[in-house]
Structure 1
């Protein structure tokens, strides 16, 4: 065993805390920019393109939903591979490559003229934005910032999600003035000019070494929020916490994507115009900002299970209430609740996995979860479209979707936090 003096000397020589704090502003800014510019591949921004695409390409809503599902499923297949690339090459180089590729996809997507091309465009947009850029942006903060990780992730998530949530309001006006093709080209140029320089000039070349022991003898064990050893993906897959967090993120992704993809139609059934429906992203943005900050802070002080349970209860209430909203305060309340859980669960997942499983294999672990999340999001729009076609309205399908967060709540009541060391593995001093 190491003596107290040995530990102090090791901590003094490594000095991991100061670099982590020095990196925080630069890392948060870079991650926020990257996360905000995932918007072109996120369902929130895509929702304002759906009706113009249906009209101009002459295809049905169900066909567009199916093409969107194919694009999302392709992203699900690639996410574990991207996670391994982050573990191997680091988030800085991966963010530069992903930003450049995503920008190219946006420009090329503006040329589609039929269903096959649209499906290919959806594949590129979902893989690049909702998948790759999203994963590397949220993983970057966890790798570079070790002290007050929850606060840092909450801050970057709040800023980035504000950009995502406000994008539909701006894009809806741009599409009306310029058309969807020109807007996709503009988005590609913006991604290239902001994401690549942010990664190149703001992210340090080498992340600081993560602290494994408290900075002083008074601090509680694992004060830095990391386990004693890094868990592998295979070891993490054997824990109930992994599947509970993954289930919560997946349920929020499936339900949130379905509600957002059919936003104009869903709220139109409740009496809101397309402009009014797009405007509801504003209260969702405000709720997302508050939720990201609040849950980022809470994640540094409150257990992961309690936060997951609370988030899923809010999601269930928002999903059920979507079928009964009316123009006015109920529509605002619905979007506030949806913004709270959709942004909150992203922050919780980004904090929970480093705390449970460490950093060495974080890309692989989060890439696997992201794969499940993207796959779940691919099913949501089609499930809600089919449910509506079978029942002359959205209400029955919405009530059925409430079962997903309810199951996660049940799991959260049962599982326990993983131990500091994987079962069957010993620490060698």
Structure 2
């Protein structure tokens, strides 16, 4: 049975949004309960940085492995596998007894969570026309950030009522329910069209059988390296706000856990708005006749101009100003990342998207791991201030890499060299 998916594609988008919400809820649990976990398991800040890096190492490796898996089996099965995997890892975290076991659980979480961000853009590529792709990416990305916004309230309430162990178990079980819903709604009879503005129908999920030849083909293109450099320069920004900003508010600015939970959500809510806003803006530019990839870069350039304002946080202004500046950077970053994610979706055919995202994930993962280690050292010996200065210059430099990704001659399969 053929299915054109003109309405069902928004059901797919909704399911991806739910998965992204859970992705960030599970990712944030440790950061929000760090004090309780560290106290019970006798983990210092250097150990906490090691835990963050165990997640990031797995996230990097998971991006590479999931890129291969998604291109081979298709995003429908891949997405279910990844959500199920990371939900199990999150639930098992509630059973750990020492630092090593906690690190292993975070490593398993990172392996699974990376895959969701590889499979989701490929599903968008297959289901949505160019004028709607950035919006679809923005919608599920915004759900992730709204998940981060709600997490301080949900996780803190669970922590205070049932403890950190049960909190991990509860959040993991919710992901199992998502997998059941995914298979109930996304049945074999609903095969996605590989979306273009004409919306042609095909008979099966596109899979890639080119093996290593396909990886070599992608690695020789200009677009993958411009995308990877831009990702490596800006990805650490979000991980800083995700893993360290709550601790910054409690450790350096003196907020209690309750006040932090009541304030930090503003940053992550702003991130959700930025993801949708960036998608709407570049989609509007596409409908105005601008080439899709160029529309993404134009929208990203607007972020690059405004992002240096975040450096003011290095001056330690009033707490409400610090939170406001954090919200501004979060808004700009997610507008940026929505369009950054859309670039390989626009530049490459569906059978290669997993490879491009995987290469970018490894490249940016190495930089993010290094930056996380440096943050841990700075927090132990100095302050958070240097990171706010680094964040200020990341986007102006990264915009040149993003533009470079869109240049070069066209290949017959739709990639750029």
TM range (shorter): 0.7 to 0.9
TM-score w.r.t. the length of structure 1 is 0.81
**Aligned runs of 1:21-420 on 2, under 5 Å?**
21-42=6-27, 44-129=28-113, 131-146=114-129, 148-193=132-177, 195-205=178-188, 207-210=191-194, 232-268=214-250, 269-300=252-283, 301=285, 303-318=295-310, 320-327=311-318, 329-391=320-382, 393-412=383-402, 416-420=406-410
* Distance in structure 1 (CA, Å) of the matches to 2:140 and 2:122: 11
Unmatched tracts of structure 1, length 5 or more? 1-14, 216-229
Give the conservation status (yes or no) of the 8 Å contact 2:226–2:401. Answer: yes
Query: What are the superposed Cα offsets for residues 111-170 of structure 1, whole Å, 9 maximum, x if unpaired?
Result: 1111211110110122223x1233323432232223522222222222343123311221
Give the conservation status (yes or no) of the 8 Å contact 1:100–1:192. Answer: yes
Give the conservation status (yes or no) of the 8 Å contact 1:135–1:367. Answer: yes
- Measured after TM superposition, the shift of residue 190 of structure 1 is 0.8
After superposition, the Cα gap between the structure-2 partners of 1:29 and 1:86, relative to the gap in structure 1 and judged at 3 Å, is: same
Query: What are the superposed Cα offsets for residues 174-201 of structure 1, whole Å, 9 maximum, x if unpaired?
Result: 11222111100001111111x2023212
- Measured after TM superposition, the shift of residue 64 of structure 1 is 1.5
- Measured after TM superposition, the shift of residue 234 of structure 1 is 3.7
Give the conservation status (yes or no) of the 8 Å contact 1:270–1:326. Answer: no
* Distance in structure 1 (CA, Å) of the matches to 2:267 and 2:58: 28
Structure having the higher Rg: 1
Give the conservation status (yes or no) of the 8 Å contact 1:291–1:343. Answer: yes
After superposition, the Cα gap between the structure-2 partners of 1:271 and 1:110, relative to the gap in structure 1 and judged at 3 Å, is: closer
* Distance in structure 2 (CA, Å) of the matches to 1:377 and 1:255: 9
After superposition, the Cα gap between the structure-2 partners of 1:149 and 1:335, relative to the gap in structure 1 and judged at 3 Å, is: same
Paired residue total: 393
* Distance in structure 2 (CA, Å) of the matches to 1:128 and 1:377: 18
Give the conservation status (yes or no) of the 8 Å contact 2:304–2:399. Answer: yes
* Distance in structure 2 (CA, Å) of the matches to 1:109 and 1:101: 13
After superposition, the Cα gap between the structure-2 partners of 1:397 and 1:157, relative to the gap in structure 1 and judged at 3 Å, is: closer
Comparing 345-354 and 408-417, the one that deviates more: 408-417
* Distance in structure 1 (CA, Å) of the matches to 2:350 and 2:387: 39
Give the conservation status (yes or no) of the 8 Å contact 1:32–1:156. Answer: yes
Comparing 105-114 and 153-162, the one that deviates more: 153-162
Alpha-carbon RMSD across the aligned residues, in angstroms, is 3.2
- Measured after TM superposition, the shift of residue 76 of structure 1 is 1.0
Give the conservation status (yes or no) of the 8 Å contact 2:238–2:330. Answer: no
